[in-house]
Amino acid sequence: MVDGRARQFITDLLEKNMQGLFEYQLEGNGDALVLNINVDSSSAKALARLDRYINWGEILKLTENDPEAAYAAERLHTVLQHMGR
């Protein structure tokens, strides 16, 4: 579950650093989380560029003993790549 402080930190960070439309809504807790993200094309392109700065090989090494986190990292990588198309 994401606590209020973490949610506010993410919101503040995105509002200060993103141009264009970037809205998200996180609902639920535990195994029943729903994440909705609305972005415009400039924000989608910025997120796709972010993918280039992330060292995915290092992340997979760090998560080798945590298959769920490794899978989540792979899915996030895929999403970010698709946002650039």
The pTM score is: 0.64
Please tell me the distance from the alpha carbon of residue 49 to that of residue 17, in angstroms, as a whole number. 14
Task: Mark residue 57 as left, alpha or beta (left: phi above 0; alpha: psi -120 to 50; beta: remaining).
Answer: alpha
pLDDT of residue 16: 62
Q: Provide the 10 A C-beta neighbour count for residue 46.
A: 18
Percentage of the chain with pLDDT > 90?
A: 20
